[in-house]
Amino acid sequence: MFIFKLPLLAAHAVLWLGLCSTAAAQGIVIGAKEFTEQLLVAEMTAQLLRARGLNPHKGTGFTTPGVRDLQERGIVDVYWEYTGTALITFNRVTEKLSPEEAYARVKARDAERGLVWLAPSKVNNTYALAMRQADAASKGIGSMSDLARRVQAGDVFRLAATGEFVARADGLKPLERAYGFQFGYGNVVGMDIGTIYAVLHRASEFNVGVVFETDGRIPAFNLAVLRDDRRFFPSYILAPVVRKPTLERLPQIKTPLEKLAAQLDNETMAALNAAVDLQSRRVEDVASEFLRSRGLLSEP
């Protein structure tokens, strides 16, 4: 059993949804989930398209199912998604696939729904479990199997997780089944991603947290990522996904989006995330600086 605090994203989505029909008629609607990496790629997309004379409208704060539903309904034109999420959550594919196979499979499956996966980035932002380095070292935990053995031996660990991870098909319960353990009643608490890093950073009751591997706060906060030695998590390759009718209406968006994707890898994304999360810089400024540094705003 778990406990989590329901985020306010649904309320934000409802407020924004009332503006969507107007926005869609005027230009192109970009969606994003509510964490730094998604906010950055959505803002970069908006700036790229605006520089090419389009009129982008950006909506953020969505859950994974929420933004996908809006795209399938024709309200969101483009957003950046992860292959593992699309395969498991939307297409119910659970077999183990290489990153290349996963991309090809989700590209083909989603094409049947009128969604086009453009060329992917080199970002593989997989989920992971992390602990404070000192705690992991003192307990001899370097992998998820090590953690499972300690729990099976009677140790109690408290997990800080997002509410979405608790319910995902590639989330908490399947992870526990794959490794043969359970955190136990009351030991899983849902919170937003920023709070997860905050409670791991300080000496708190939480000694394990769900993190994203491209998050710059992992090294900054001296966190140890536990090795997924049973390869539970699939690859999560980040790529722009566009509605087919939108691409037919605006074919000129394909090249700049794919050029942006080609510039993104884990190291780059971690640095961009850190600029926002650790240096408290504005998403808009970080996105603009990156695009200009790579010459993407000046390209045709």
Kindly report the CATH number assigned to the domain that includes residue 266: 3.40.190.10
- The amino acid at 38: Q
**Which residues does 115 contact at the CB level (< 8 Å), separation at least 6?**
71, 72, 241, 242, 243, 244
Give the 3-state secondary structure of residue 224.
Answer: strand
Reduced DSSP (H G I as helix, E B as strand, rest coil) percent helix, strand, coil of the chain, to 5: 50, 20, 35
pLDDT on residue 300: 60
Asked if residue 53 belongs to a domain, the reply is: yes
Asked if residue 1 belongs to a domain, the reply is: no
H and E: helices and strands count for the chain: 15, 11
Q: Which of 225, 249, 278 is the last residue of a domain?
A: 225
Averaged pLDDT for residues 52-76: 94
pLDDT on residue 7: 40
Residue 193 shares a structural domain with residue 269? no
Assign 6 a pLDDT band (cuts: 50, 70, 90).
very low
Mean pLDDT across the chain: 90
Q: Is the pLDDT of residue 24 over 50?
A: no
Pairing of strands 115-117, 238-243: antiparallel
**In the chain, how many domains are there?**
2
Residue 259 shares a structural domain with residue 284? yes
Separation of CA 227 from chain center? 19
Q: Using CA atoms, how far apart are residues 211 and 214, in angstroms rounded to an integer?
A: 9
Give the 3-state secondary structure of residue 111.
Answer: helix
Structure tokens at 29: 């609607």
Averaged pLDDT for residues 225-239: 96
Q: Is the pLDDT of residue 18 over 50?
A: no
Averaged pLDDT for residues 8-21: 44
- The amino acid at 97: L
- Domain with 19 in it: 8-124+236-293
Q: Is 24 exposed, middle or buried (0-12, 13-18, 19+ CB in 10 A)?
A: middle
Residue 77 shares a structural domain with residue 177? no
Query: What pTM does this model have?
Result: 0.84
Comparing 230 with 10, the larger pLDDT belongs to 230
